[in-house]
Amino acid sequence: MFYPKIQPEFQENLNRLNLNAANEFQLNVFKKMRSGADVVAIAEAGTGKTTGIITTLIHQLKEAFEDAPRALIIVNNRAEVEFYLAQFAELGRHTDLRVKPAFEGKPWKDQMEEIYIGADVVVGTIGRIQEIYFKNGINLNKIKHLIIENAHNLTHQQVPQIERLLLTLEKCQRTFVGQHITERIERIADEHLKKVEWVE
């Protein structure tokens, strides 16, 4: 079994994708996120970080619920948004979870409307998420999981944006994912995360 006690239909879908067992890193991320702790997950490319994050979220969210999103994933660009969407579509084929994008390059009004209609997970860039939020186009009150992907690539300009988001979502679980530890990750973890669990 990929993870202990996951839904049989979820395991069946993972078997179809030849994902029969999680590696040690994925299991540790699963356990820490399931505990509710804030997490900093560090591993090299190709170690299954994205699969670990997505499968954990699918296991916890399970199915579509109401209209407001329960998970927010921040990535760097449109290509990463589209990669996440494709992975959710494959790994979550057995569910009706609604995963909506938010990135520059397409009209923000269209993306805002899609999110407003109903979303369980929103994957987007920090700039577009803030743009939609400031226009009252996304309800963040139900967010339970905030994921910052590729945190090692955070720019000087993005850090204050991320910090504002962390303050807005102070009560949800926050997970930082990166390929290596940086001074910015350490400082944000020290100043904004609570009872941080490190997975390397």
Express each pLDDT in 45-80 by its tens digit: 888 999 999 999 999 999 999 999 999 999 999 999
Placement of tokens 């905030």 in the chain: 146
Average pLDDT, whole number, for the chain?
A: 93
Rounded-to-integer distance, Cα 63 and Cα 92, Å:
10
In this prediction, residue 147 has a pLDDT band, given cuts at 50, 70 and 90, of: very high
What is the pLDDT, as a whole number, of residue 195? Answer: 85
What is the pLDDT, as a whole number, of residue 168? Answer: 92
- Residue closest to 165 by CA, chosen among 118, 119, 128: 128
Is the pLDDT confidence value at 83 over 80?
yes
Tokens representing residue 193 in the block: 């995360």
Phi, psi of 115 (to 5 degrees): -65, -40
Is the pLDDT confidence value at 1 over 90?
no
